[in-house]
Amino acid sequence: MGTSIDPVRGMRDVLPHDYAAQAAIAARLERTLASYGYQPIDLPLIERRDLYLRKLGEELVGKVYEFTFNGRDLALRPEWTASVLRAYVGRMQDQPLPLRLRYAGPVFRNERPQRATYRQFTQVGVELIGGPAPRADAECIALACEGLRRAGVSSFRVRIGHIGLIRSVLAALGLAERTQGLLAWSLERMREEGVDAVRARLESPQ
């Protein structure tokens, strides 16, 4: 049982030595993003809850830290994309396209704590708005690879997925939206937990 001076379960204190290493990696990544013409953006940690309920996949929605304050339903940011798109639609549509934006900052997800997995972590990334596909996709993939190399990661694997493609296939089968969401979530969990674990969960009585 934790004491009053322990961090909340799933959170961590980043002490000077670790902070210096983390900051150095983040700085390399941000220099890489800037070299590709991506402009920095900083957005609120707290957003309206419905922003994430509309935009996130079913699995991530269940991991959002949400609360009610003064009658408003709010949430801590679980990822950046929805917030960036909100800011673009609300205040940046007069900007010429393509628009390249970069960000770095904390996100919060109510995940099951594991070794080297925390409920608060720093996310560094980009949004390329209005770029011609598939060139824009290729640029983002190249940028991810270059960022990892400059951060000192020499061996890595890039996995590319598109939830829209999976949803289209499931919709073509005539499945209800709730069933589509359950199957899409199950496919994602298979990569992390394996087929047997997901099958056991689906077959267990609710």
| Domain assignments of the chain as residue spans, ordered by start | 16-160, 162-206
* Mean pLDDT across the chain: 87
- Mean pLDDT for the stretch of residues 46-57: 80
- Mean pLDDT for the stretch of residues 67-94: 95
- Mean pLDDT for the stretch of residues 5-22: 91
- pLDDT band for position 55 (50/70/90)? low
Question: What is the DSSP code string of 78-129?
Answer: S-SHHHHHHHHHHH-TTSPSSEEEEEEEEEE--PPPBTTB-SEEEEEEEEEE
- Going 164 to 127 to 32 to 97, the CA torsion angle's sign is positive
Assigned token pair, 197: 């674990």
Q: What is the pLDDT of residues 120-149, one digit of tens each?
A: 999 999 999 999 888 999 999 999 999 999
Overall CATH class of domain 16-160: alpha beta
pTM for the predicted model, two decimal places: 0.77
